[in-house]
Structure 1
Amino acid sequence: MTATVSQAYLPNSGSAYTRRYKDVRARSESLAAPLSPEDQQVQSMPDASPTKWHLGHTTWFFETFILRAHHNDYRVFDPSFGYLFNSYYEAMGLRRITPRCVKGYQTDIACRSHGLSQWWI
């Protein structure tokens, strides 16, 4: 099943997407900045995922619902991330990812976001 986001919930221009993504990314990184890579791997309580997962999830969300939805030739950073960052409730598949890998993913998607306004209508 392919998930879609109603246009009613999305900004009307590429520049709005870019601004919002940059704002969310900057805020996420500022919240995680005081934490060491080891701290980002800790699950502080059963009902909360580790910080590294949240950083990857927000990046995955942008990649899935913005980049892929608005660019037919878009190639995902890592196909397994769709499962890793979306379906964390199921007890199967890859469950360990390093903060360094998440940071690389965030950086890659941030770089791809430059000039994306030409992809958006």
Structure 2
Amino acid sequence: MKSDSTTVIKNMEFLVKELHKEWDRSGASKASVIISLEEVDGINDKLKEIIYQTQKSVDEDELTFKQSIVKSKECYVLLRVVRKIAKKKDKCEKQAIDNEFAIELDKDELKQFKGLFAEMFK
């Protein structure tokens, strides 16, 4: 019996690793968001805090498997946004031409970003 539960656990671990790989990739771009260099630090700070709190919740709270997977996906989507912002910010600062840049967001990224920064879409 123990080998059956071990097999199930190993299969679940494999499944979660595969999901993480998939979530790490952006889908097709749905929209562009323009961010000024003045806004970047505030946006990054908010995103990092949300990622931290969400991951903390996954680690510490008594969540169902489904809730844990949903929160993990949210973290991966937000991490993609953070990476996109960092890449564009570095490029913008190196070129020293503009004081703003645009990032392309896929459907999931746009949904979460809009939910957090609705004021940027008015």
> Under TM normalisation by the shorter chain, which class is it?
0.3 to 0.5
Q: Looking at secondary structure, tell me which structure has more strand per residue.
A: 2
Q: TM-score, normalised by structure 1?
A: 0.39
TM-score calculated relative to the size of structure 2: 0.38
